[in-house]
Amino acid sequence: MPATTATARPVRRRYVPPQHGAWAMLLVPYVAGLLVAGFRWPDVPLLGAWLAGYLFSYFAFQAVKTRRPGRVRKQLLLYGTVTAVLAVPVLWARPQLLWFAPVYGLLLAVNGWYALRRNERALVNDLASVVQSCLMIPVVAVVAGLPPQRVLEPFLIVLLYFTGTVLYVKTMIRERGVLAYRRASIGYHLAALALTSLLGALPAVVFALLLARAWLLPGRPLTPKRVGLLEIGASVLVLVAAAT
């Protein structure tokens, strides 16, 4: 039994990226889109293609970063195949989704550039990933037969949240103690609160709480795990604000 466990863990690490925060960025916009636009059958293969596409891109950028694509050939083959197979019925049902392809291509090019420079933690790279994730809201809307402008408000709420989270998490972990990042995070959340106040009382309350956590928590002895757990709660609040 111990031998089985010992071999299972390395296999899991080889095929599942150690980026726990990425899953929230993948799922929250998708769920927000469903809550606002409603469910249609292509949403099922869409979710599978979305998750598999992320896994494929992660290992593709690892290949770019290390200049050793052979090390991740199995992962690229697996996730590339799954993404393609699941994307076919989605695009067959909603071919207009191809209008999103140039935008995703441009944002992925930004990610690729930073992977090539081995600087994936750059702020611009993180923000490009945030936009990619949040675009899933209008994608789900198009799947439901709605024009993208119908989900502009939830898209903006989720985009503002994840953009602020990039800054806030940096003040808690990688840029802890850096005053410039803390000021940028607080200033951003103040601006986000002012903007969401125009959208209604509930978004304003949620972003007031986000501002409080960006103001009060940096400098406190919170582990990355606790920071992540707090963000799960924040994501739920943002979902409620985006869906109402």
Same-domain status, 51 and 120:
yes
Q: Does residue 142 sit in the same domain as residue 166?
A: no
How far apart CA 105 and CA 99 sit, in angstroms, is 11
- Co-location of 88 and 169 in the same domain: no
- In a shared domain, residues 178 and 242: yes
Gap between the Cα atoms of 23 and 46, Å rounded: 15
Nearest-CA neighbor of 161 among 20, 37, 28?
Answer: 28
Crossing angle of the two packed helices 73-93 and 2-15, in degrees rounded to 10? 60
Please list the alpha-helical segments (H only) found in the chain: 2-15, 20-37, 43-66, 73-93, 101-116, 123-134, 136-143, 152-172, 179-196, 201-216, 224-243
Identify the pLDDT of residue 10.
Answer: 57
Q: 30 with 43, same domain?
A: yes
SS3 state at 97: helix
Same domain, 140 and 161: no
Q: What is the DSSP letter of 196?
A: H
Same domain, 187 and 141: no
Domain count, the chain: 2
Do 11 and 73 lie in one domain? The reply is yes
Residues 92 and 142 grouped into a single domain: yes
Q: How far apart are CA 127 and CA 111, in angstroms?
A: 10
Check whether residue 3 and residue 111 sit in a common domain: yes
**Could you list the pLDDT tens digit for every one of the 244 residues in the chain?**
444 444 444 555 688 887 777 889 999 999 999 999 999 999 999 999 999 999 999 999 999 999 888 999 999 999 999 999 999 999 999 999 999 999 999 999 999 999 999 998 899 999 999 999 999 999 999 999 999 999 999 999 999 999 999 999 999 988 888 899 999 999 999 999 999 999 999 999 999 999 999 999 998 888 888 898 899 999 999 999 999 8
Domain boundary among 146, 169, 186: 146
Residues 137 and 175 in one domain: no
**In terms of residue numbers, what domain contains 207?**
151-244
Quote the pTM value: 0.91
Domain end marker among 120, 146, 172? 146
The letter for the amino acid at 61 is F
End residue of a domain, out of 125, 146, 167: 146
> Counting beta carbons within 10 angstroms of the beta carbon of residue 20, is it exposed (0 to 12), middle (13 to 18) or buried (19 or more)?
exposed
pLDDT at 15: 85
pLDDT at 244: 85
User: Does residue 41 sit in the same domain as residue 162?
Assistant: no
CA distance linking residue 33 with residue 135, whole number of Å = 10
